Structure 1
Amino acid sequence: MIIAALVTSLGGFIALALAMDKHCKHLLRRVLAPRWMNVLTAAGWGLLALSLGLCCVCWGVSIGIAAWSGWLTLAGILLVFYMPNWPWQPEQPKAPPRREKKGVVVDAQPVVEGGHWLRKSATGGLLLVPLAVAIWFFIVMAGR
């Protein structure tokens, strides 16, 4: 139950990040259509609301809201420190190549492209896991 709140919060933040042009270019290397941006925005806020509901069901309203804010903080910190370390992130601009003493320019390392299937599957998995956890939670709660 506790992990479900964290995972749905993380999924909501990822969906909201994909709904922004800057982060969408960073994660998918393209900008989605406005219709998909609206869908991701609604899904992100829906997952955050679901996370609030999970916390309130588990601990009651008073403690649930406080626990929810803690899970939001933890999910945000995880996402902030994880996003810059994604392997397909764009390279940061580097200083121009240094010149040797005799005027010969040293070439920079070539950039290797690839891993498109990995990027798409990781992003899709990060969006689908919170939904699976939420469905599992409601099935377990219905059995009680």
Structure 2
Amino acid sequence: MIFLALCLTYAGLCSLCLAMPKHFQELICRAPQLRERQVLRVLGWAAQVLALGACIVARGAPVGSVMYLGMLTITGLGLVLMLPYKPKWPLYLAPVGTALSLFLLPFSH
């Protein structure tokens, strides 16, 4: 459950990153349409809410919310450090990590 929350946090940050026109242009090599930016923004915030919910389910509300903020910090730092050196990696790691965590979800606990 915690790995799922970590992957959802990372995927949400990647979606919110791509919702910005500058980052979308750099990573996808074309200008984003308004509808694409809106969808990416909604998906990013939905992933963040699901990650917070997964942390709360895993550890309870007091510890889960603090754990979520720690995960948000770690994944944000990882994304910020990865973008200048390997700019295409976030595009590949977000879906792969989320799919892997959903596959491993039944085996947790």
Give the 3 Å change call, closer, same or farther, for CA 122–84 of structure 1 in structure 2: closer
Structure 1: tracts of 5 or more residues without a match: 88-118
Q: Does 1:126 align with 2:104?
A: no
Verify: 1:21 aligned to 2:21, yes or no: yes
1:52 is matched with which residue?
Answer: 52
| Residue pair 1:4, 1:134 contacting (<8 A) in 2 also | yes
Deviation at 1:59, TM superposition (A): 0.1
Determine whether 1:83 maps to 2:83. yes
Structure 1 or 2, whichever has the larger Rg, is 1
CA distance in 2, matches of 1:2, 1:84: 28
Between Structure 1 and Structure 2, the one with more helix by share is: 2
Higher relative contact order (CA 8 A, sep 6+): 2
Amino acid at match of 2:95: L
Equivalenced residue count is: 109
**Code of the aligned partner of 2:46:** G
- Consecutive aligned runs of 4 or more in structure 1 exceeding 6 Å deviation: none
TM-score by length of 1: 0.66
Looking at structure 2, the residues matched to 46 and 6 of structure 1 have their Cα atoms a distance apart, in angstroms, of 14
Q: Which runs of 5+ in 2 are unaligned?
A: none
